[in-house]
């Protein structure tokens, strides 16, 4: 199930787009609220296969990506995303409870731009998005 919403913010530039890929409806809801507060247009996918379908139709600027999901996990999705035409453009933030350094390194070497530990809040997410150059740093 892919769902999309458009929030109109006060940002004078083109709206920022983010695809949230997580099998947890609660995580998607929390992330959606945070991202919409930052004036993102948000789409959701419950697994990597849905996310890949979405990206083939409309490449987002940012992908917030869970690691462990049914159908296609986050790492498999990331590798396939980066092989798509335009698939190197989105900033990908891996979001997981995974704390092993080798797993984090694997995600980064597969093409993730940043890593966010769950649970996260708006301040953490905004700081990570600022690190990859998508939003301004929190003041």
- Residue 7: pLDDT band (50, 70, 90) is very low
Residue 139's pLDDT is what?
Answer: 65
- The model carries a pTM of 0.87
The answer to which of 8-17, 36-45, 54-63, 116-125 has the lowest mean pLDDT is 8-17
Beta bridge partners of 131: none
Rounded average pLDDT over 4-21: 65
Q: In what side-by-side order are the strands of the sheet with 40-45?
A: 3-5, 40-45, 16-21, 62-66, 91-96, 114-117
Pairwise CA distance, residues 107 & 67, whole Å: 9
Domain borders along the chain are 16-131
Q: How high is the pLDDT of residue 8? A: 39
| Res. 12: pLDDT tops 80 | no
Number of residues written out for the chain: 139
Q: How far is CA 92 from CA 80, 95, 121, 139, in A?
A: 13, 9, 17, 23
Phi and psi torsions of 54, nearest 5°: -60, -45
16-131 topology per CATH: Rossmann fold (3.40.50)
pLDDT tens digits for range 27-50: 999 999 999 999 999 999 999 999
């Amino acid at each position: 199930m892919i769902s999309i919403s458009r929030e109109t913010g006060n940002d004078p530039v083109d709206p920022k787009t983010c695809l949230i890929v997580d099998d947890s409806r609660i995580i998607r809801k929390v992330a959606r609220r945070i991202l919409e507060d930052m004036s993102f247009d948000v789409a959701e996918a419950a697994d990597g296969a849905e996310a890949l379908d979405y990206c083939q139709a409309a490449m987002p600027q940012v992908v917030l990506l869970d690691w462990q999901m049914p159908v296609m996990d986050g790492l498999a999705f990331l590798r396939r995303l980066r092989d798509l035409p335009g698939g190197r453009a989105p900033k990908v933030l891996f979001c997981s409870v995974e704390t092993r350094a080798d797993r984090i390194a694997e995600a980064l070497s597969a093409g993730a731009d940043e890593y966010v530990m769950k649970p996260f809040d708006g301040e953490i997410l905004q700081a990570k998005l600022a690190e990859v150059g998508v939003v301004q740093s929190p003041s």
